[in-house]
Amino acid sequence: MATTQRDLADNRPGSAARAKARELEAEHPVKAVLARILGIRRPEHAWHRGADGEVLVGRTLRRLGPRWRVLHSVPVGSRGSDIDHVVVGPAGVFTLNTKHHRRGRIQVDGDRLVVNGTRQAYVRASRHEATRAAKLLAAAGGVEVPVRAIVVPMGAAAVRVRRQPVDVAVVERRHLRRWLARQPEVLTASQVDAVYDLARRPSTWVG
């Protein structure tokens, strides 16, 4: 009997991060309750905050218009990894890595991204994410599919970009929709539909 493959288009923004937070809470339920009462931040707090950021980015992406397709919380491989958002449209394919730093100060100088004085590996991780996505989409469709990574800072008090990374863009959520709309068109409507059809299949991302 043939089985029906789950459609990743049904995934909600932040669902993977929220599931991870609940998993951590379930491991130590008493500590989780006490932490909430006492205002103590535990590891699951960061996952909930990340999920909240993904929900807000998801709302922004909904406003891209009918020529764009968006997937959220795309599971990759078998080790619990996921891509926050995969966007397919006239300007190509993009993997979005949402980073929620409330009231943080972020500085970007090429590959060097610093949050409150501490360097973070967001650019390198996002580049790897896009490279992996390109390989998996190409393997599933038999055609090379270029993918570009975007780091989306959330909730920061200040984001200063001195120099963008060569092949990764750092774009605040409030600028994201306009940034995507301004990118040169590289895919036709039929190509967008074809890539999206591949991207929404869980089997595409198991490699």
- Please provide residue 56's backbone torsions phi and psi, each rounded to the nearest 5 degrees: -65, -40
Q: What mean pLDDT, rounded, does the chain reach?
A: 89
Count: domains in the chain: 1
Separation CA 53–CA 9 (nearest Å):
19
47 is a domain residue: yes
In a domain, 166, yes or no: yes
If one counts every other C-beta atom within 10 angstroms of the C-beta of residue 163, the result is 10
Backbone angles phi, psi at 159, to 5 degrees: -125, 115
Q: Tell me if 2 is assigned to some domain.
A: no
Query: How confident is the model over 75-118, as pLDDT tens digits?
Result: 998 788 899 999 999 999 999 999 989 889 999 999 999 999 99
Residue of 12 and 43 predicted with greater confidence? 12
- Residue type for position 58: G
Q: Could you give the CA distance from residue 166 to residue 187 in angstroms, rounded to a whole number?
A: 21
Per-residue pLDDT of 152-165, as tens digits, reads 998 899 999 999 99
Amino acid at 78: S
Is residue 1 included in any domain, yes or no?
Answer: no
Indicate whether 38 belongs to any domain: yes
> Model confidence at 1, in pLDDT bands (50, 70, 90)?
very low
Residue 32 has pLDDT above 70, yes or no: no
pLDDT surpassing 60 at residue 119: yes
pLDDT-wise least confident of 8-12, 87-91, 124-128, 140-144 = 140-144
Residue 128 confidence (pLDDT): 97
| pLDDT > 90 in the chain, percent | 71
pLDDT for position 178: 96
Is residue 184 within 8 A of residue 166, CB to CB? The reply is: no
The amino acid that residue 65 corresponds to is G
- In this prediction, residue 28 has a pLDDT band, given cuts at 50, 70 and 90, of low
Structural domain of residue 157, as residue ranges?
8-205
For the cut 80, the answer to whether the pLDDT of residue 139 exceeds it is yes
Residue 72 lies in a domain: yes
Domain-located, residue 68: yes
39 pLDDT more than 60: no
DSSP string across 146-194? -EEEEEEEES-SEEEEEE--SSEEE--HHHHHHHHHHSPP---HHHHHH
In whole angstroms, give the CA distance from residue 196 to residue 86.
9
Q: Would strands 105-109 and 69-76 be described as parallel, antiparallel, or unpaired?
A: unpaired
Q: Is residue 69 part of a domain?
A: yes
Least confident of 22-36, 70-84, 157-171: 22-36
